[in-house]
Amino acid sequence: MQYRKLGRTGLNIGPLVVGTVNFSWLTNEADSFEVLDYAMDVGLNFFDTSNNYNAGKSEELLGRWFAQGGGRREHTVLATKVYSKPNEWSSPDPAKRDGSWVGPNDSGLSARHIRAAVEASLKRLGTDHIDLYQMHHVDRSVPWEEFFQAMDVLITQGKVLYVGSSNFAGWHIAAASEAAKRRNSLGLASEQSVYNLMNRNLELEVMPACEAYGLALLTYSPLAGGILAGPPTDNEAGRRSFMPKQESKKMSAFVALCDELSHSPADVALAWVAQSEHVTAPIVGPRTLGQLQQSIAALDIEFDDETLKKLDEIFPGPGGPAPEAYAW
């Protein structure tokens, strides 16, 4: 297993991030534990979750997995997120509140919500610290000074080691990083964003921003929600029912190219993301052990220049970084 640094930090992570969004939802606990154990055994040490995945149940499942011992927590780089409250909205009527009602201060990135959210996540995860605490979304109503003050307190307390962002624009990364510099804080260690052959918007500004500020780039949805896995089976008939005609033509050309390469569309799509010089590690969200094993095998696929050119012709990017992509 070849490890790489999390941006400019000294933290080593594996070439794939194991996402847990399916755990306690599409994947039961026993099968989730099997996936997590296998990942640890083969050296994948980075697990990503969120406080709002499955109303907090994904964090709770990880907590029960850690509780089995055997070095599970000690050898895991644990990432979770803050922005939303994990519980769903219920009635604002005080007479009907059941404890899950979200009030005006129970979401976002205020210092108050961060303090409450981190304590709740630590409790669900059964741990005393989070290795990478990520903003799940930008909060335009909160000044960066307030956010980093809250994070600096958590870092001083040992409850958080590194801070990351998710779903940020390039200028958000720049603004946050400059605010952290003014506080002499380490600032952002990583950005987590969607990136795949069908969605290459990151190439415009997010990738250059991450490179300029030394952030790791962790990308999710490498298969574009399953579309890049190829033609659906009978049980997946609805997966591509809303695909635009133009995208359907691209997929036909993509599947034909994958047939020439003797690799499945899913493997080619993941390998393309994993081989990007700008991507630190793609995030996969396996439902089964077999899917994780397939994802690991895809890391061994190598593309020659001609194949990369054909993929660019089928799924052209935005034309390079901004502003060259749209200006002289």
DSSP code at position 269? H
Which residue in the list 53, 83, 195, 213 is annotated as catalytic? 53
- What tokens appear for 195 in the block? 């990136």
Question: Rounded to whole angstroms, how far apart are CA atoms 26 and 247?
Answer: 27
Query: Phi and psi of 283, rounded to 5°?
Result: -100, 130
Burial of 169 (0-12, 13-18, 19+ CB in 10 A): middle
- C-alpha distances in Å from residue 219, one per residue of 87, 127, 190, 198: 26, 25, 10, 13
Is residue 206 within 8 Å of residue 279, measured between CB atoms? no
Q: How far apart are CA 215 and CA 284, in angstroms?
A: 20
R_g of the chain, CA atoms, integer Å? 20
272 and 228 Cβ atoms separated by less than 8 Å: no
- The backbone torsions φ and ψ at residue 78, rounded to the nearest 5 degrees and listed phi first, read -100, 125
Task: Provide the strand spans (E) within the chain.
Answer: 4-5, 12-13, 17-19, 46-48, 77-82, 130-135, 160-166, 188-194, 216-220, 281-284
53 belongs to the catalytic site: yes
- The catalytic residue positions are 53
